[in-house]
Amino acid sequence: MHNIAYSNDGLWLATASSEGEIYLWDVENNYTKSDKVLQINGEPYSLEFSPDNNLLAGGSTNYFAYLWDISLGQEIARLPHKDVVRNVSFSPDGLRLATVSRKSVQIWDITALPIISTNNLVDAVCAHLTFNLSESEWTEFYANEDYRLLCPNLAIKE
């Protein structure tokens, strides 16, 4: 295990592996592992539950901080940084998240973050794009997969 954090109510333990998998353990049920596995790209550097225990934040070596909804078992925000995110900490009221990366501290207003559930991720991404990948671009990213449109309402890049 790489990092661990107990929820503030003591009901959950989160553990992070060097492979980027975060497991939730049900403390009251003899530390039974939950079916929900949270993913983080890179190696996790820190974990912390929000004061109300609804959210879990994590810092990573891939220059992002992550925010997960525990009840859904889904990532709901990914916060960009310019270096490894070494620490995360919620404010006592749970409305802000402080993140540390190199020589900077960033304060995030959680209520202002665009929360996107995994179920709506493709629609949210397509709303920010102007073209689909061309066939040559597709081959660069997905060499062994057949070409397909990711955003059906967008034109193909020429």
pLDDT at 83: 93
Length reported for the chain: 158
Pairwise CA distance, residues 32 & 78, whole Å: 28
pLDDT at 150: 85
Pairwise CA distance, residues 43 & 17, whole Å: 8
Q: Is 34 in contact with 14 (CB distance < 8 Å)?
A: no
pTM for this predicted structure? 0.77
β 12-16/3-6 pair status: antiparallel
* Helical ranges in 9-132 per DSSP H: 121-126
pLDDT at 54: 96
Residue type, 76: I
Tens of pLDDT along 89-132?
999 999 999 999 988 999 999 999 877 766 777 887 888 788 88
Which of 91, 61, 60, 87 is closest to 75 using CA atoms?
60
pLDDT at 30: 96
User: What value does the mean pLDDT of the chain take?
Assistant: 90
Q: Which domains occur in the chain, in start order?
A: 3-114 (2.130.10.10), 128-158 (no CATH)
Q: Where are the beta strands (DSSP E) in the chain?
A: 3-6, 12-16, 21-26, 32-39, 44-49, 55-60, 64-69, 74-80, 85-90, 96-101, 104-109
Q: Is 103 in contact with 125 (CB distance < 8 Å)?
A: no
